[in-house]
Amino acid sequence: MISRKLVNAASLTLGLSLMASSAMAKVEMNAMCFMKQSDTAAQAFNPTKEEIADDSVLKKNPTNVTDKDVETKFRIASLSKVLTTQWAIAKLGPEYRFKTKIHVTPGSKTANCNIHIEGDMDPYMGRDMLTRIFTQLKPKLQAQNCKFIETFSYDQFFPVYLDVMKHQKDHAAGWEDPARYFNSTKTKNDLTAFIKLKSGLRGNFDNIGVVTKDRYSVYLKTVPSKTFSVKSRPLHMILKDLNKYSFNYPPNVIFEKLGGAEGYKKFVADRMKLSANDIEMYNGSGYPAIIDGVKLYNLVSCSALVHIMQDLDKTIEAYKGSRPFQMADVMAVGGSGESYSTFKGLYGSSTYDNTLVAKTGSADKAITFGGMLSTKDGDLFFAVLTSPDNYGGADTTNARVLIRSLVQTLAERQKLTKFSYKQLGDMNPTDDQSTLVEEQTSKVSTSLK
């Protein structure tokens, strides 16, 4: 059992006092539920009389979560990233690497050529990866007698955000509206700036623009070409990074790569038998989407959430690859070893050292938390969905105090068992596979000279 005398790190970090719980009336409990690894249905969670008597927060803020609450959709905020994670793991697998291709074709003059980038929606295509690409591309162009770039283009699947790694040092940057960075204007501006100032190439870069994948594939069949490719870090590292930092940009990119809102509806209907009664997803991050001038939030039932986490757990553990994988490889882990996570400072405790994998969520009218507890009876999945009257300040703090007490109460009912996991630290955007390799040369010609 977990001792109530344990000092919770979150109370120190936030300066929270349980005396503040008198203001808890401004927090509405939407739903809390859980299910075990072997369960087929989610259960509502409410503390018992005995558990309430031992906890001043629960005593002043009794819950009455019903079966109807468990099946009702509520705002889930950044718990949306867990849904995106499950979709990505199910469709691509944890060792998938985003593959970007660079096509080189001859220009109209000797020693000239054209460059086109075929994207794969790599969500970490930023300054580091671009530097690797063009540092390696320059000598390859010289070997092909290309000294001047006549045209430079890219397709609609090549988003660029130069400062994509900024979130690791400036955490607040990761929580900003992803639409500010995931758009065609941002890609063009960032790519143009990099090519002109940092690529080391000579050429005409004033009209860099999009040529769609379909259109370019037709053109590519008519000219001699050489194609080079480069790969991202593996997907599991990307998902781990975006989840523990709650970085809004990458999950929106991945969500669109996988098929967007319509694609997700079909995925959960086919795989999970879930419908619009259970889930409304507009993007992969949980940041409110503006559609036709209306602000829309992802809405998901507590039951759907824990079923999806259960499926993620089973899918990633069943994957056959270079090594075994688990939820800890794609989400933040409790304990001091994690370099950073949004829940470490809010709900962290030594009790959860390699016993908890979880994700926080916070948005207007939504403070949420969910994940997996490792117990002697197998993995247990849970979600807590609350709605403070006001986002920020005391109401948000009080919601987190309540969530912390509820999760601690749930954990006390279990015999927690540590899982084996070694903390890996922060992800770097490139590795030894971020090397430009030549693919098959165009059948039209084997030379660009």
pLDDT tens readout for residues 173-207: 999 999 999 999 999 999 999 999 999 999 999 99
- Residues in a beta bridge with 360: 369
The lowest-confidence range among 3-17, 78-92, 265-279 is 3-17
Confidence of residue 444 (pLDDT cuts 50, 70, 90): low
Q: Report the percent of the chain where pLDDT is more than 90.
A: 84
| pLDDT exceeds 50 at position 14 | no
* Beta-sheet pairing, 366-375 with 226-231: unpaired
Each residue's pLDDT tens digit, 53-71: 989 999 988 899 999 999 9
SS3 state of residue 431 = coil
CA dihedral 127→245→73→304, nearest 10 degrees, is 100
Residue type present at position 295: K
Strands of 112-118's sheet in order across: 209-210, 148-154, 112-118, 99-106, 226-231, 437-438
Residue-level pLDDT at 26: 73
pTM: 0.93
Confidence of residue 151 (pLDDT cuts 50, 70, 90): very high
Q: Where are the beta strands (DSSP E) in 19-82?
A: 27-36, 43-44, 73-75
Q: Does residue 449 belong to any structural domain of this protein?
A: no
Confidence of residue 119 (pLDDT cuts 50, 70, 90): very high
Residues 402-428 have a mean pLDDT of 92
Given a contact cutoff of 8 angstroms between Cβ atoms, the answer to whether 425 and 168 are in contact is no
Residue-level pLDDT at 19: 35
CA dihedral 80→86→88→91, nearest 10 degrees, is -140
Contacts of 15 (CB under 8 A, 6+ apart): none
Residue-level pLDDT at 253: 98
Q: Does residue 421 belong to any structural domain of this protein?
A: no
| pLDDT exceeds 90 at position 11 | no
User: Rounded to whole angstroms, how far apart are CA atoms 197 and 181?
Assistant: 20
Measuring CA to CA, which residue among 371, 365, 383, 260 is closest to residue 313? 371
Claim to verify: residue 121 and residue 183 sit in the same structural domain: yes
Claim to verify: residue 375 and residue 315 sit in the same structural domain: yes
Q: Does residue 304 belong to any structural domain of this protein?
A: yes
Instruction: Give me the chain's average pLDDT, please.
Output: 91
* Beta-sheet pairing, 437-438 with 289-291: unpaired
Query: How many C-beta atoms surround the C-beta of residue 270 within 10 A?
Result: 9
| pLDDT exceeds 50 at position 327 | yes
Confidence of residue 27 (pLDDT cuts 50, 70, 90): confident
| pLDDT exceeds 60 at position 351 | yes
Confidence of residue 13 (pLDDT cuts 50, 70, 90): very low
Confidence of residue 442 (pLDDT cuts 50, 70, 90): low
Claim to verify: residue 342 and residue 396 sit in the same structural domain: yes
Q: pLDDT: is 17 or 261 the higher one?
A: 261
Q: Report the percent of the chain where pLDDT is more than 70.
A: 92
Claim to verify: residue 385 and residue 342 sit in the same structural domain: yes
How many folded domains does the chain comprise? 2
Residue-level pLDDT at 339: 83
Claim to verify: residue 209 and residue 240 sit in the same structural domain: no
Claim to verify: residue 140 and residue 278 sit in the same structural domain: no
User: Rounded to whole angstroms, how far apart are CA atoms 357 and 370?
Assistant: 9
CATH code at 224?
A: 3.50.80.20
- Residues in a beta bridge with 230: 100
Claim to verify: residue 85 and residue 209 sit in the same structural domain: no
Containing 265, the helix (H) or strand (E) segment is: helix 260-272
Q: pLDDT: is 54 or 296 the higher one?
A: 296
Claim to verify: residue 225 and residue 115 sit in the same structural domain: yes
Burial call 64-82: b when 16+ CB within 10 Å, e when fewer: ebeeebbbbbbbbbbbbbb
Residue-level pLDDT at 443: 59
User: Rounded to whole angstroms, how far apart are CA atoms 230 and 137?
Assistant: 11
Residues 333-339 have a mean pLDDT of 84
Residues 365-393 have a mean pLDDT of 94
Each residue's pLDDT tens digit, 121-130: 999 999 999 9
Residues 410-421 have a mean pLDDT of 95
Rounded alpha-carbon distances, angstroms, from residue 282 to 35, 249, 260: 26, 14, 8
Given a contact cutoff of 8 angstroms between Cβ atoms, the answer to whether 204 and 173 are in contact is no
Domain carrying residue 196:
99-232+428-438
Q: Does residue 444 belong to any structural domain of this protein?
A: no
